[in-house]
Chains A and B, each alone.
Chain A
Amino acid sequence: MGRKDIQLDHKVISELIKAQSTVLDLGCGAGDLLYLLIKEKKARVQGIEIDEQAIYKCVAKGLNVFHGDIDSGLAEFSDKSFDYVVLNQSMQQILHVDKVLVDALRVGKKVIVGFPNFAHYKSRLQMFFQGKAPVTEALPYQWYETPNLHFLSIFDFKKYCRTKKINIQRSVCIGKNHKILFLPNLFAQVGIFLISRED
């Protein structure tokens, strides 16, 4: 895997993680992010993934992975088992998000969340002018086949953290292939947050 082929969100998450950390990836898919973290950060990693075919891909990469759902998989870890718990593109697909985030903040010293921004201007335009549920690069599914259960914006997540007294340590908002600094809730496709219970 060349440096060029690495997804931007993976690159951003990798930059947020200190070398030689322990990382739990919830919904790790085929394990590309974990593979990157081992190579670049010498991290000790563990994945949880519900899809059986993705498990086979993880195992072929030499990764440790548990086959199961995130909700029950997380509850079994003791407090502060990992330096980082990652929920990249999986949070919006979990039934009980609030419960999982509370648990993730218990199991990990820090949590990294990455999700598609529902308030991206393209979504807004489609809603406003075409009167349809948005289908964009970051939200590529039709309404009848989407695995996403929750639709939130960068603004929503910041508000959630404020309400729940969760500390946002870093946030990086990205577009298709670059970081977005100006009006991220309007121009970013994906929001990535490093959060924790501590200051």
Chain B
Amino acid sequence: MNKEKKIIKNDSVGLVKTQEFTFESLKLQSGEKFGPVTLAYETYGFLNPEKTNAILIVHALSGDAHAAGVHENQNNPGWWNAFIGPGKAFDTEKYFIICSNILGGCKGSTGPASINPRTAKPYALDFPLISINDIVNAQKRLIQHLGIEKLLSVVGGSMGGQQVLSWLVNYPNNLRSAVPIATTIKNSPQQIAFNEVGRQSIMADAHWKSGNYYEGPSPSRGLAVARMIGHITYMSDKSMAEKFGRTKKVVAEPFKFTADFEVEGYLRYCGDNFVKRFDANSYLYITKAMDNFDASGGRPLQKVLQGILAKVLVISFKSDWLYPAYQSKEIVKACKLAGVQTTYCEIDSTYGHDAFLLEVEEESHLIRHFLKKVFYAYEVTGDYGA
């Protein structure tokens, strides 16, 4: 038991604290000036004196700044804890890792639930429509604040991957590599459709009240259903069959439409849990930003990537039907045509879209070696460390 504890401790970043950075204002893509903006962020490891070992990790739709380690008096490790720590893919003994909650989020960064200083009330729908590029521009300010000119890498999956592409297109000289995982240049009609059903579910909840629910009950049912739909799209037919089968739950007081099957119970649990930690308006704003995103702004991506020196690692997963491999291959194709040094791997996984959080071994292998190559500017001319 003691030994086990020690192992867990040795590869964990341990106790971590969320920090805050506030700046005056941000010019949004829409032209509007918005502020003040606060970003919640965490860091792991240490920035080297040359400031060449900083990696920005960007989170997906429901993520937050807490990517690794544990908070005081809490047991929940960060959302990518399996990848970040001493000796892990993002080795905190070598690299300085930064993760921030996105603009528009609800976990410490400025979003629709934050207090509008002009009215002393939550913004609600007075919060401006934001884009993925706005989210990235805010991150850029944080990186500057931390004194980092050039990131070693920007890494993220799903909507995080969209942010990675935005970084690559808008700040190619401020990063040495980019790792977009299970993501897309732009959302397909199918992805937009799922997001729209989620939004409609929230807005159909009587408690939503055009977004002004902060003083009364929240539109929890609507948000829970949105999350349930989301969870279906994050899994695969096979992973659901393996996890739940047609196993029935034992229900104490059955009625006609009780959650008989395990899978029903699971979705309800996920939905109910989600509403405790997520703001419905944030869900609306963020999914809208995802849908509106187009990495190349309507131009062919290969044109935009021309001459970029950053190295790229693209990862997709075989059973991911929400962000299918063909979308990752479109990124690869653009890199190919632009002559960007690129590696692509489609990992054989049955987890569906969730695989980017769960396929620890294969994904870690790819990321670890890729980062090593970039960090040591290693062109296979010799040994890594030399």
> Which of A's residues lie within 8 Å of B, judged by CB?
34-35, 38-39, 42, 46, 52, 55-56, 58-68, 76-78, 81
Residues of B within 8 A of A39 (CB): 380-382
For residue B33, give the distance in angstroms from its CB to the closest CB of chain A.
42
Residues of B within 8 A of A61 (CB): 380
| Cβ of B370 under 8 Å from chain A | yes
CA distance A64 to B335 in the complex (A): 12
Say yes or no: A76-B336 contact (C-beta < 8 A), given A59-B370, A60-B365: yes
9 A-B pairs with the lowest CB-CB distances in the bound complex, closest first: A38-B380, A62-B373, A62-B380, A67-B345, A66-B344, A59-B369, A76-B333, A55-B345, A60-B369
The total of Cβ contacts below 8 Å across the A-B interface reads 63
B362 touches A65 (CB 8 A): no
CA distance A78 to B302 in the complex (A): 12
CA distance A39 to B365 in the complex (A): 23
A68 touches B362 (CB 8 A): no
Residues of A within 8 A of B384 (CB): 62
| Cβ of B346 under 8 Å from chain A | yes
Say yes or no: A65-B343 contact (C-beta < 8 A), given A38-B379, A59-B370, A78-B337: yes
> Which of B's residues lie within 8 Å of A, judged by CB?
311, 329, 332-333, 336-337, 339, 341-348, 362, 365-366, 369-370, 372-373, 378-382, 384
11 A-B Cβ contacts within 8 A?
A42-B381, A52-B346, A55-B345, A56-B366, A59-B345, A59-B369, A63-B380, A64-B341, A65-B344, A76-B336, A81-B339
Residues of A within 8 A of B342 (CB): 64, 66
CA distance A59 to B342 in the complex (A): 11
| Nearest chain A residue, comparing its CB with the CB of B347 | A52
For residue A38, give the distance in angstroms from its CB to the closest CB of chain B.
4
Say yes or no: A77-B337 contact (C-beta < 8 A), given A52-B348, A64-B343: yes
Residues of A within 8 A of B339 (CB): 81
Residues of A within 8 A of B381 (CB): 38-39, 42
A62 touches B337 (CB 8 A): no
